[in-house]
Copies of this chain bind each other. A is one copy, B any other.
Amino acid sequence: ASNRNLLVLPGDGIGPEVMNEVRKIIAWMGKKRAVGFDITEDLVGGAALDKHGVPLSDDAMKTALEADAVLFGSVGGPKWDTADFSKKPERGLLRLRKEMDLFANLRPAKVFDALVDASSLKPEIVKGLDIMIIRELTSGVYFGEPRGRHVNAAGEVEAFDTQRYTAPEIRRVCAVAFELARKRKNKVLSSEKANVMHTGVLWREEATKLHKEKYSDVKLEHMYADALAMQLLRAPKEFDVIVTDNLFGDILSDEASMLTGSLGLLPSASLGAPDATGRRKALYEPIHGSAPDIAGKGLANPIAQTLSYAMMLRYSFDLGKDADMVETAVENVLKAGYRTGDLLVGNTDGVKKVGTQEMGDAIVKEL
């Protein structure tokens, strides 16, 4: 009994098992907090390839376009490594991003106090870290045409990809960054390689113009992507919101995620533009991949998937209080010493090593 239509796409590898734990939380929230969903489930990635011969069926694509939100697991694995480019499991995810027009990818990198020791960085560098990377997600070199391969004039095999950005594409993602910064520490760092790439020059110009026109109350700085890769290690706490393109965002957000100690902890939200009714298409997924090496063994950390669900409550359904509840439960479970394998780094006195299900149960119990 709700008009909250949710499409669940567990995908491959550890996707299904971490999604199972989230289902427990969804059930609990439905019962205790009356936060219910009409849930449809479908296949994506290798699982869809095996059944339908494509990494995302047209049917599933249609359901996604109609859903109020998509909760996504992860895709890929050695079984499909030799698949044709157009049939790689990843294409399922890329199709969702593109056809749903999910241009703004929000990737928080937050360090839990209980886990400061799990980071490979020194505690004084990362303690209290809370940054938000906004990655452009539907353009750039991921989708630009022409792309492919041919034999060039010299008779050599040559491959090519095109990075393209239009001014409106840059502006809309920068606007998301400025809006978010206003609710945070009011600082945006925009990153590109304007010293080398024409798309970088346009990116810097448009960010600067938009800032002047509509967001001059927010502090805006620019930094080349290579310099940012360094500053993220030297003084990450100086950043608040970072906005960058699809490819730089892919690399830099993965780098930033390691500051927190584990990929197993980090959620993400991918958002479209609001329509006339204010509704925006959205997909929520953990930052981690399908981790084929530990899939099916009950070892995976369900926290990133759980926090993706919490982001969904907040951004798609305006259920900030319920999102807080879930996030606090996760924090408390970590404080109480529960650790999946990925978190067992550094000092492990007084921690309880648990598997996927025990971690999920501990979160539900904490709720």
Residues of A at the B interface (CB closer than 8 Å) are 76, 85, 88, 90, 94, 120-122, 125, 141-142, 144, 147-149, 152, 154, 156-168, 193, 195-199, 201-203, 225-227, 229-230, 232-234, 247-248, 250-252, 254-255, 257-259, 263, 289, 346
Residues on B with beta carbons closer than 8 Å to the beta carbon of A289 = 227
- Chain B neighbourhood of A166, CB < 8 A: 152, 154, 156-158
Choose one: B161, B227, B254; the contact of A199 (CB below 8 Å): B161
Of the candidates A157, A198, A199, the one having the most CB atoms from chain B within 10 angstroms of its own CB is: A198
21 A-B contacts (beta carbon < 8 Å): A94-B196, A120-B122, A141-B163, A141-B196, A147-B197, A147-B198, A149-B201, A149-B202, A157-B166, A157-B167, A157-B202, A159-B202, A160-B198, A161-B163, A161-B199, A229-B254, A230-B257, A230-B263, A232-B255, A233-B233, A233-B255
A226–B197 touching, CB < 8 Å? no
Contact B122 A88 (CB under 8 A): no
Contact A195:B159 (CB < 8 A) given known A234-B258, A255-B255, A263-B230: no
Tell whether, in the assembled complex, residue A230 and residue B258 are in contact, meaning their CB atoms are under 8 Å apart: yes
For residue A346, which residues in chain B have a CB less than 8 angstroms away from its CB? 122
Q: Is the CB of B226 within 8 A of A254?
A: yes
Question: What are the residues of chain B within 8 A of A196 when measuring CB–CB?
Answer: 90, 94, 141-142
Q: Is the CB of B198 within 8 A of A149?
A: yes
Residues in chain B near residue A158, CB distance under 8 A = 164-167, 202
Chain B residue numbers with a CB within 8 Å of A193 are: 247, 250
Nearest Cβ distance between residue A56 and chain B, in whole angstroms? 15
Q: List the 8 shortest-distance A-B pairs measured between CB atoms, nearest first.
A: A159-B202, A229-B255, A233-B258, A226-B254, A156-B166, A157-B167, A159-B198, A159-B199
Residues B251 and A148 in contact, CB atoms below 8 Å apart: no
State whether A195 and B76 are in contact (beta carbons under 8 Å apart), knowing that A122-B121, A201-B159, A202-B157 are contacts in the complex. yes
User: In the complex, are the beta carbons of B162 and A162 less than 8 A apart?
Assistant: yes
- How far apart sit A113 and B346, CA to CA, in the bound complex (Å)? 21
Known: A121-B122, A167-B158. A251 touches B229 (CB 8 A): yes
Nearest Cβ on chain B to A102's Cβ, whole angstroms:
16
A90 (CB) vs chain B CBs: closest residue:
B195
Inter-chain contacts of A120 with B (CB < 8 A): 121-122, 125, 233-234
A80 CB, nearest partner CB in chain B, Å: 11
* Nearest-CB residue, chain B, relative to A163: B161
Residues of B within 8 A of A149 (CB): 198, 201-202
User: Inside 8 A of A156's CB, which chain B residues have their CB?
Assistant: 166-168
Residue of B nearest to A233 (CB): B258
Residue of B with least CB distance to A146:
B162
B residues within 8 A CB of A94? 196
Closest to A84 in B: B201
Report Cα–Cα, A243/B250, bound state, in Å: 19
